[in-house]
Amino acid sequence: MKTFWTIPFFLFLAISSRAQDLHVGLATGLSNYQGDLVDKYYDFRQTNGHIGITLSYELFDQIILRGGLTHARIQGNDKYQEKDVLVARNLSAKTSITELSLVGEFYFNNLYYKRWSPYLFGGVALFHFNPFTLDSSGTKRFLQPLGTEGQGLAGYNKEPYSRLQLSLPFGGGIKYAITDDIRVGLEVGLRKTWTDYLDDVSTNYADPNDLINARGPLAASLAYRGDELPGGDPNIPTKGAQRGGEKYKDIYYFTGVNVSFRIGKKTTGDDGRYRPGRRFGR
């Protein structure tokens, strides 16, 4: 029991002793995704937003370790697709994303000597998503439990997809130092994922009768919605017909601004020399 408390205690002391190397921050901006319902970057008709908090630690003047908690919303809708066959499919989905990330940042300039610097970052993240759509009556329906492509049914060899996934965040930006303790930035960050179900669309159509028997008529009605369009095709695609493209996994990305504030005062650089306000010539 003593060992259990001793390790966190000394870890707390180590972090507290270097509190001047910690920054807390806020980030906000746009959120987008690319997948089966959005086939291009930055379709502003389907852009949403994100907001997050960060805690950063200066390993060195130009290398920073950043943890973040971000909440975002993404969406896709076939009505904005360029191909007629996709518009006729008439699928749509939205999802909230809650992401916990840890990334390393590398700055090309030392912000204690120059006011601005471009930077790159990369790391790992854990995120949760839960796609939903509105049915024909406008009622919100979560899609993963319905197994719209036959996930979990006998004869389909598909397991229900997990709503908790890993991603690789990477990107870059530019940071401006207002003072030694306050920094603002612009950032673009992509997230590579290993799921193709951010929008609940990936592979092939299931037999609608299988969906009705196992999951009810709602699952079948939301698997194909072309019949809801004026003059749309009322014939549901047969089992095995292509519904999505699983070759490329979904990605999501954030574009926005951030601001960070130092906790405590930075008095020495990596060389151990005193340097408050050096940038301003004091």
The predicted-structure confidence for 112-160, as pLDDT tens digits, reads as follows 899 999 999 999 999 999 999 999 999 999 999 999 999 999 989 999 9
**What is the number of other CB atoms lying within 10 angstroms of the CB of residue 5?**
9
Q: Say how far apart CA 259 and CA 261 lie, in whole Å.
A: 7
Q: Say how far apart CA 130 and CA 137 lie, in whole Å.
A: 20
What's the pTM? Answer: 0.87
| Beta pairing partners, 185 | 175, 258
Mean pLDDT (the chain) is 90
Task: Decide: 276 and 265 in contact? Cβ < 8 Å.
Answer: yes
Go through the domains of the chain in sequence order and give each one's CATH number: 21-263 (2.40.160.20)
| Res 280: pLDDT | 44
The predicted-structure confidence for 30-86, as pLDDT tens digits, reads as follows 999 999 999 888 899 999 999 999 999 999 999 999 999 999 999 999 999 999 999
Q: Sign of the C-alpha dihedral, residues 133, 139, 143, 147?
A: negative
The predicted-structure confidence for 190-212, as pLDDT tens digits, reads as follows 999 999 999 999 999 999 999 99
